[in-house]
Structure 1
């Protein structure tokens, strides 16, 4: 697998894990939707790093 594919798969996994944990936390009453929304910027920052790696991999692969 090339680095761009790996980066994309990792990003999708991160989003999926975040979604499942968020749903469970809200259903259990551990967090409010507002608390989940406050956590979203942390995830998007991680995704920005992943997309930067993806772009760099595309440039290095020609």
Structure 2
């Protein structure tokens, strides 16, 4: 896990896949269940395929480039 991101009442994790440079943004439930996670922790993630939302990569700038 690279970073914990806060967006108002929402918490998200910026996760880099192991052996990759690919990043995922993972939304956390707002029940404090994962408050113990810190930057550089190794975590396992999973999701319900029916709830997955994916977007095509664009030529837009990512947050580090803004």
Q: Is TM > 0.5 for Structure 1 vs Structure 2?
A: no
Q: Which has the higher strand share?
A: 2
Higher helix share: 1
Higher relative contact order (CA 8 A, sep 6+): 1
TM-score range, shorter chain: under 0.3
**Higher Rg:** 1
TM-score, structure 1 normalization: 0.23
